[in-house]
Structure 1
């Protein structure tokens, strides 16, 4: 039986690329989408074209009650098609960004980042643990912004720093089950994240290029293979680590 990856936020951007990269490695995929079912179905068809199976369920990372609903849907589906609710890989990727200076950040904006990027990751992982196979993998997506800083991204970066600490504790507490936990931290990537400025704003792109050793803005294709590698047998001895994928940004 093929190994199974469960990934949040897989219908676009980095998540979509992760789904496709995992499918290319021979894994079946279950992923979440927020509201755009059409985009989710497009990704499913891409996975099927690669000879793997895929299923998508809606999930709103801002809403605590959605965590149990999502995990219940995933495990019921797996029980139906495979006879077991278990899976092998959990990739916590779903997220969005808010750009605002500390002096102007509202409590509601801070709470939104907390709920999406830290609370949902913590408790979705907790809910998934009974169904994650021994020797499985947890991969949490963080950000280069936990190592370097740019004005306006404080509330987002604070939550990602929490995710990185959480990952170390996962690695420690799940070692007896041979489950590894690692962080992948993208640098500046050309997606629609936070308004798509890394993709569309040439002035910002020029600044990023000047700060990056490899001299360009990252693309989604730079990330998917790293996540797939961490799910492979070759990465079995990597545990509790933060892997930054930024082309050498601000080194």
Structure 2
């Protein structure tokens, strides 16, 4: 049995999650990633992760489908046994997400429910279901957004869910303290990925606006985020708990 720790990164097949998973692997931590539909992309990430000399695997996961959480939990625990010869894991990275941009006046109940299920309800109950399998002394990293601190028109529902996640994270830290499990939030600023249709990456006017609003003078890149999440999975971060760590280059300060 490997003595390495194990991290679960939801939404780890692309974007920020992919970067987080690779960065965590570079800390000599085994990694399980989830993907929604693109199995081949996930397998490419697994191959890249394993170049770091750790073990990795990918599981399908529909973050929106609350009714399927028990099925995913069972598949994950089965994978821990078969692939890693253990029934415990050490770090839960709740990263899976989507972006929906709609003004308050035009946001539909369906859009609201989709965002709530993926970004808050799903995170809450996946975490709850996996807590018995999370090792004492481990850690939880929930992904929020700079939009929970400052406002970007069209993101009211998305940002509200992220605000809920930040509160939830503090409660996790409080209630899990006796098990020495740490819980923190990482809040990226605007990042050049395919998130939200790739607007920050692909629309020059939007990228220019983000750059002008950021103290360090550019939009964020995936490489700016993964290392921070990986750091929170190390003993160097052992005394960081219940914190919101914004990684935005100083956006809207």
Aligned residue pairs total: 251
CA distance in 2, matches of 1:249, 1:78: 39
User: Which whole-Å deviations, capped at 9, do the CAs of 1:33-90 have from their partners, x for residues lacking one?
Assistant: 0000010000011011111111111000110122112221111111123332100000
Gap runs ≥5 in structure 2? none
What RMSD, in angstroms, separates the aligned Cα atoms of the two structures?
Answer: 0.7
Pick one of 96, 106, 109 that aligns with 2:108: 106
Structure 1 equivalent of residue 22 of structure 2: 20
Structure 1 equivalent of residue 164 of structure 2: 162
Pick one of 89, 92, 102 that aligns with 2:94: 92
Is the aligned partner of 1:232 residue 2:196? no
CA distance in 2, matches of 1:31, 1:66: 17
Is contact 1:198-1:205 (8 Å) kept? yes
Q: TM-score, normalised by structure 2?
A: 0.98
Offset of 1:30 from its aligned partner?
0.5
Structure 2 equivalent of residue 61 of structure 1: 63
Is contact 1:77-1:85 (8 Å) kept? no
CA distance in 2, matches of 1:136, 1:170: 12
Pick one of 223, 226, 231 that aligns with 2:225: 223
Structure 1 equivalent of residue 148 of structure 2: 146
Is contact 1:98-1:109 (8 Å) kept? yes
Pick one of 175, 178, 182 that aligns with 1:176: 178
Mapping 1:77-88, distance limit 5 Å: 77-88=79-90
CA distance in 2, matches of 1:219, 1:81: 32
Gap runs ≥5 in structure 1? none
Is contact 1:86-1:132 (8 Å) kept? yes
Pick one of 28, 44, 47 that aligns with 1:45: 47
Is the aligned partner of 1:35 residue 2:54? no
SS at match of 2:150: coil
CA distance in 2, matches of 1:151, 1:183: 23
Runs of 4+, deviation exceeding 6 Å: none
CA distance in 2, matches of 1:162, 1:81: 34
